[in-house]
Amino acid sequence: MTGKPGRNDPCWCGSGKKYKKCHEAFDEKLDGLRAKGLPVLSRSLLKTPEQIEKIKESCRINVAVLDYVAAHIGPGISTARIDEWVHQETVRHGGIPAPLNYNGFPKSVCTSIDHVVCHGIPSEKEILKEGDIINVDVSTIYNGYFSDSSRMFCIGEVSPEKRALVDTVRECVEIGLSKVQPWTPIGNMGHAVNMYAEEHGYKVVREIGGHGCGLEFHEDPWVSYTSEEGSGVIMVPGMVFTIEPMVNMGGAAIETDQEDGWTVRTKDRLPSAQWEIMVLVTENGHEVLCW
């Protein structure tokens, strides 16, 4: 994955084809973008076909775990119980929960209720009740490859205001996904997300964004959802990253719990919602790998 092969050498992507028949024109295009001063990821962060297949295997486990949560979650369930489900189901499928012990995080999943924006730590004391909204953020390591996605769940009957927030954030993700096109700036995606959220009266969190993923849990690029159109790295085939806007019903301001060092809450204590998908940039557009 480093250096430039000879034209008749095997391509760096592992296809078995000669470089001149495979990625030579691609690399020349990247070099042209760099020469113009445009930001482009290093080749080491662009996934080969073999790596993409391995990442997809991890993603299948991640989706299966979230499907299990979806089938069992409801009023009266503790977030500690959700953590148990995620850990058991991930291990049952041969995976490892990526959050567990990551930078000291003590659990296998993040569970963020109502005004908790992200990184909520599961607890026996935290019991879901009718009217709550919760984000369950699952991340998996499988044979050394990473996947990451989250879903919102409405517990029983929730208020129309909370339901509208949850639905709008999912639409934000879909709007952002529609802007994932090769050879265009990633800022176009973030800008579209932010515009849609603000049109509906919500504010997008600025300090926390998405990230590359696949070979590591968190890779470059950092992904903003309040970006300017035309800004950011150029999306190119083989790039994998998350679309995961965190959208607040009130103001955009957030704060991190000073005691646990992880739990992020809205400063005004109004609800927040987030959906997360993992997307691959392809030659013709994009492919959703994890949802």
Residue 3 is predicted with a pLDDT of 67
Taking 80 as the threshold, does the pLDDT of residue 25 lie above it?
yes
**Cα distance between residue 289 and residue 133, in whole Å:** 25
Q: Note whether residue 11 is domain-resident.
A: no
Beta strands in the chain (DSSP E): 96-97, 110-113, 116-118, 133-142, 145-154, 184-185, 203-204, 210-212, 219-223, 234-235, 240-243, 246-248, 254-256, 264-266, 272-274, 277-281, 286-290
Taking 60 as the threshold, does the pLDDT of residue 164 lie above it?
yes
Q: Note whether residue 144 is domain-resident.
A: yes
Domain total of the chain: 1
Q: Which two tokens stand for residue 123?
A: 């607890």
Q: Note whether residue 209 is domain-resident.
A: yes
CATH number at residue 82: 3.90.230.10
Identify the domain containing residue 117 by its residue range.
42-290
Indicate the pTM of the whole model.
0.94
Q: Note whether residue 20 is domain-resident.
A: no
Q: Note whether residue 27 is domain-resident.
A: no
Q: Note whether residue 15 is domain-resident.
A: no
- List, for residues 256-268, the tens digit of each pLDDT value: 999 999 999 999 9
**Cα distance between residue 231 and residue 9, in whole Å:** 35
Evaluate whether 203 touches 196 at the Cβ level (below 8 Å): no
**Average pLDDT, rounded, for the chain:** 96
Taking 60 as the threshold, does the pLDDT of residue 1 lie above it?
no
Instruction: List alpha helices for the chain, DSSP H.
Output: 24-35, 49-72, 79-92, 160-178, 187-199
Evaluate whether 257 touches 263 at the Cβ level (below 8 Å): yes
Average pLDDT of the residues in 98-115: 98
Q: Note whether residue 23 is domain-resident.
A: no
Q: Note whether residue 191 is domain-resident.
A: yes
- List, for residues 233-264, the tens digit of each pLDDT value: 999 999 999 999 999 999 999 999 999 999 99
